[in-house]
Amino acid sequence: MTGQEAEELLREGALTVEGRIPDASNAVLYCSVSHQERSAHCVYKPVEGERPLWDFPDGNLARREVAAYEVSRATGWGLVPPTVLRDGPLGEGMVQLWIEPGHHSDQDDEGDGALLALVEDEEPGPGWKAVGFAQVGPGRTALLVHADDQRLRRLAVLDAVINNGDRKGGHLLTAPQSRLYAIDHGVSFHTENKLRTLLWGWAGEELPEEAVRVLRHLERDLSGDGELAVRLAELLTAPEVDAVRARVAELLRSGRHPVPSGDWPAVPWPPI
């Protein structure tokens, strides 16, 4: 299925709730969706089931998730599974293609390699980037590292653009063909800098040429009647869309991966 076909299935399909994901912070429902000859599994997060947060307005986490998909789609990197906003059995919500589990980032599967690790050393080994030292027990620290992986590096750029307030390891799903998907973008797109992520390994480093090209494309797509500008305007407030433009402009101006701002906990804990 192409992204467009998946979007159509998610938008038009008949949605059947099959179960609820336990321990999620919001109501996260596992569903099947079918339309004409196609069917798939998906998650449905109804706005009704959103837990209120102190720093985000009530009732629009679902829209932020869809907006994250729209930005991801515009990058061409395909990091966020197809996600749409639609009505469902529990009212309006976000519906996202299900990525088969069993390939979570903290597992070493199919030679893909783990994406995150805690190590005893002072320095990250070859192929790893350091996030920082973490307290892992009484008087014990370990170095949190993530893989020096192109997919993660793209995701670090996407997170900087969407201002992701919660990029944890459990939100990275690896799928067949070395695909990496990122999920759970409800706390993104705040107008203030809230970037909180594990992916600080490239902080302050020059952006790869590829990322600069993609950011230039986003800049055009976000201007005036650009398609992304139009789509985001349906999902976010005008100041929030302006803030996306400002973050893209700042990334292009500095030409570097962002560094922690210092006025907000920069690394989610626990990291998984």
Ligand X SMILES: Nc1ncnc2c1ncn2[C@@H]1O[C@H](COP(=O)(O)OP(=O)(O)O)[C@@H](O)[C@H]1O
Can you give the binding site for ligand X, defined by CB under 6 A? 21, 24-26, 28, 43, 45, 81, 96, 98-99, 101, 170, 173, 183-184, 186
**Dihedral sign, CA of 236, 240, 242, 248?**
negative
Asked if residues 133 and 267 have their Cβ atoms less than 8 Å apart, the reply is: no
Least distance in angstroms from the C-beta of 206 to ligand X? 32
Q: Is the Cβ of residue 75 or residue 174 nearer to ligand X in the bound state?
A: 174
Structure tokens at 56: 């985000």
* Residue 101 interacting entry, from ligand X, Mg ion, none, C-beta within 5 to 8 Å by type: ligand X
Residue 184 binds to Mg ion (criterion: CB under 5 A): yes
* Residue 26 interacting entry, from ligand X, Mg ion, none, C-beta within 5 to 8 Å by type: ligand X
Residue 65 binds to Mg ion (criterion: CB under 5 A): no
Peptide linkage before 176 cis (omega within 30 of 0): no
Asked if residues 156 and 202 have their Cβ atoms less than 8 Å apart, the reply is: yes
Q: Is the Cβ of residue 45 or residue 190 nearer to ligand X in the bound state?
A: 45
- Residue located via tokens 């429902």: 29
Q: Is the Cβ of residue 75 or residue 188 nearer to ligand X in the bound state?
A: 188
Least distance in angstroms from the C-beta of 174 to ligand X? 11
Structure tokens at 87: 């009505």
Q: Which one of 81-89, 138-146, 157-165, 183-191 is the stretch in contact with Mg ion (CB under 5 A)?
A: 183-191
Least distance in angstroms from the C-beta of 173 to ligand X? 6
Q: Is the Cβ of residue 96 or residue 231 nearer to Mg ion in the bound state?
A: 96
Q: From its phi and psi, is residue 41 left (phi > 0), alpha (psi between -120 and 50) or beta?
A: beta
Q: How far is CA 184 from CA 13, 19, 65, 119, 206, in A?
A: 22, 18, 7, 26, 27
Binding footprint of Mg ion on the chain (CB under 5 A): 184
